[in-house]
Amino acid sequence: MIMSSNSYRESLEKLRRKVYIQGAAVADPMAHPLVRPSTNAVAQTFALERQEQYKELIFARSHLSGRPINRFTHIHRSTEDLMNKVRLQRLLGQRTGTCFQRCVGLDALNALEITTFEMEQDLGIPYHHRFNKFLQQVQDENAVCGGAMTDPKGDRSKRPHEQADPDLYLRITGENSEGITVRGAKCHQTGALNSQYIIVMPTLAMREEDKDYAVSFAVQADAPGLLYILGRQPSDTRKQEIHRADIGNRDFGGQESLIIFDDLFVPWERVFICREHRYTGRLVERFAGYHRQSYGGCKAGVGDVLIGAAAALAELQGVDKAAHIRDKLVEMVHLNETLFCCGIACSARGRASSSGAYLIDLLLANVCKLNVTRFPYEIARLAEDIAGGLMATMPSLADLEHPQLGPLLRKYFQGIAGVESTCRLKMLRLVENLTLGPAAAAYLTESMHGAGSPQAQRVVIARQADLAHKKMLARRLAGLEGESS
């Protein structure tokens, strides 16, 4: 079923969830001003389906049914699929200027497809069969899936089973002939309130003593036992203002939640890992790799918006011809395209797994994400440099409508002649939104910690680097073959 943006919103309104926003229970979160912009961003993934020029990117062909499906429900079957994913993510970053929230679920689906295939081959348990039934339903419904991996973790020096409170990592608390019961929480859940299903994965490679924490499953987003608490973002109350120009990005935004699992029951047909701890490391590494690839697309797309805003401000302020401004814009483009290059490169170097799904090159995916922990911050710094201090000090744009204040603001905030000063002020608000305001959570903080902190990428890069091979190359050219180290 191909949904429109409106039917997607209507499907969310039918969900009956326990949601809290700023200390108050909210019966209809979709109508809340702190949530609505993020729903608009997800809805763009449905709006693209109606636009002919984007059909190559937004649609893929299901390996299960052979039908065209939304790419955010697709299992990659070629390097072209992997590259089209990154291209689509860049496009959506450009269109929304924020996080559009379907990437985590897509990456979870692909990581689970490979891992459950291996588990069924090795163990004889029909995990892959269960997963494919769920996947078929997701594809038929064109459903939005939220991927839930990050646990609160408590004392980071201790393993899950060593925690003073055993619920600080999500765990299995019961099991019977019908399914399992779980308890715990998942943090930083991007787009949780805009998801129709929640896919849960372990947050790290588990050991035998942590086997109760080795669990993966999928549930409907309004399953009994789920509680959502909306997270705060910088300047998020701007979204509640009547004068929408002060938001910076009038239509779109991101959203994260804490999800609490209070003795949630999961039927066996939706359980994909149950105490098989040996497979958790594979799942975590694959999911992380796919999601680190994703950042080469979405962050480049948002970067395009920020670069465009900085270039527009330079022109509006009459400094676009200055050599140092041109140099800064070129540096911003260079950094942004490097992110995109890494996303494309790890996709082009992808290979088929045993299930037939294509996995990215893990080394290059981690190089991509490590660059993402740095480059957007420099792009944002340069954008703030070009924008100037007025970005963070100008009065409300509502003052422009005041009969006495409006003319004064237009007079004293005028840029180049012939262009209304409101153009400059609105562009400044957009830069503020991306670098200091609500979108900064998606563009900057998420760049640092999303899909793992910088150290997580360094660990994988060290493991994948094959230094022994590099030393052999150097020894051969230095004439040291056969010599002891």
Residue of 295, 342, 358, 373 marked active site: 295
pLDDT tens for 29-59 read 999 999 999 999 999 999 999 999 999 999 9
Region 5-84+96-278: CATH code: 2.40.110.10
The answer for residues whose C-beta is within 8 angstroms of residue 458's C-beta and 6 or more apart is: 370
The arithmetic mean of pLDDT across residues 258-272, rounded, is 98
Residue in the structure block whose two tokens are 């608000």: 429
Residue 423 is a catalytic residue: no
**Joined tokens for residue 267:** 């039927």
The arithmetic mean of pLDDT across residues 361-366, rounded, is 97
Model pLDDT, residue 1: 52
**What's the Cα-to-Cα distance from 154 to each of 70, 157, 203, 204, 317, rounded to whole Å?**
38, 9, 13, 14, 49
Residue 103 is a catalytic residue: yes
pLDDT tens for 242-259 read 788 889 998 999 999 999
Residue of 49, 74, 79, 103 marked active site: 103
Residue 256 is a catalytic residue: yes
Residues β-bridged to residue 258: 229
Domain-wise residue ranges, the chain: 5-84+96-278, 283-465
| Reported pTM | 0.95
Weakest-pLDDT range from 232-236, 314-318, 331-335, 371-375 = 232-236
Does position 221 have pLDDT exceeding 60, yes or no?
yes
Model pLDDT, residue 245: 84
Higher local confidence (pLDDT), 272 or 238? 272
Mean pLDDT estimate for the chain: 96
Residue of 116, 190, 373, 435 marked active site: 190
pLDDT tens for 382-438 read 999 999 999 999 999 999 999 999 999 999 999 999 999 999 999 999 999 999 999
Residue 291 is a catalytic residue: yes
Residue 341 is a catalytic residue: no
Residue of 298, 342, 346, 368 marked active site: 298
- pLDDT band for 240, please (50, 70, 90 cuts): confident
Same fold across 5-84+96-278 and 283-465: no
pLDDT tens for 54-69 read 999 999 999 999 999 9
Residue 435 is a catalytic residue: no
Weakest-pLDDT range from 38-42, 122-126, 347-351, 477-481 = 477-481
The three-state DSSP-derived secondary structure of the chain is CCCCHHHHHHHHHCCCCEEEECCEECCCHHHCCCCHHHHHHHHHHHHHHHCHHHHHHHEEECCCCCCEEEHHHCCCCCHHHHHHHHHHHHHHHHHHCCCCCCHHHHHHHHHHHHHHHHHHHHHCCCHHHHHHHHHHHHHHHCCCEEEECCCCCCCCCCCHHHCCCHHHCCEEEEECCCEEEEEEEEEEEECHHHCCEEEECCCCCCCHHHHHHCEEEEEECCCCCEEEEECCCCCHHHHHCCCHHHHCCCCCCCCEEEEEEEEEEEEHHHEEEECCHHHHHHHHHHHHHHHHHHHHHHHHHHHHHHHHHHHHHHHHCCCCCCHHHHHHHHHHHHHHHHHHHHHHHHHHCCEECCCCCEECCHHHHHHHHHHHCCHHHHHHHHHHHHHCHHHHCCCCHHHHHCCCHHHHHHHHCCCCCCCCHHHHHHHHHHHHHHHCCHHHHHHHHHHHHCCCCHHHHHHHHHHHCCHHHHHHHHHHHCCCCCCCC
CATH superfamily of 283-465: Butyryl-CoA Dehydrogenase, subunit A, domain 3 (1.20.140.10)
Model pLDDT, residue 484: 67
Residue of 74, 79, 99, 432 marked active site: 99
Model pLDDT, residue 419: 95
Residue 346 is a catalytic residue: no
Burial of 343 (0-12, 13-18, 19+ CB in 10 A): buried
Residue of 113, 256, 384, 432 marked active site: 256
**Joined tokens for residue 322:** 């200055």
Residue in the structure block whose two tokens are 């010599």: 483
Residue of 113, 197, 291, 384 marked active site: 291
pLDDT tens for 87-110 read 999 999 999 999 999 999 999 999
Report which residue type is found at 58: I
